[in-house]
Amino acid sequence: MHRDDSEAVKDGEPMLETGGKLYFADGAFLSAFQISTGQALWRVPNVGIRKIEIDGDGNVYVATANLSVDTLSYAITEHTDPATASVMKIDAATGKVLWNAQKYQDVWASGKDVYAFREIINPNDAMERVFDSRNVPEARTKIYKLSRGSGEPIWEWYQPRRPRHVIASHKDVALIFPTELQVIHSMAW
């Protein structure tokens, strides 16, 4: 997704430049810098930030794997604490984490709307694919509209397949599939 006010580095650390600030996740911290002076405004410790989004009011949202700090120093093994994907809302002025909604793997913010993505894994699907793959959905995905105040879901939308691309534009969420485009229109505030 391309936005005029921001730019992300592909295959690198997530960053976003908007409103005279640079937000940068370096693997261990999310940092905010004043672009004109280079001054560090705040830092939030978090390992595994994959994406940074800003809504129309300047609130910061991140999609993170919430990895253990051990992953920075040691090889990941079966004894490493598992990741708990989540979406966090962070106050852009102070760096304070306002809420942390666990289970979501991606986030999109547009205008006053925030959407999240979750893929549900059913362990029985692997076994079912061996015997009759026609009856097993490609994926179990859900798109959620989140409350900006609490991070709680306002609504959810289920799809038995994985979209190739998702684009959020205010009240509309476009889901692009190999042979189809679906648009969800949110009527909820």
Q: What is the mean pLDDT of each run of 10 residues along the chain (189 residues)?
A: 40 83 92 96 93 95 83 53 82 96 94 93 66 70 95 94 92 94 87
From residue 93, how far is each of 39, 160, 174 by CA, in Å? Answer: 13, 39, 31
pLDDT for 150 equals: 96
Of the CA atoms within 13 Å of residue 185, those in its CB half-sphere come to 1
15-185: what fold? Methylamine Dehydrogenase; Chain H (2.130.10)
Q: What is the reported pTM?
A: 0.81
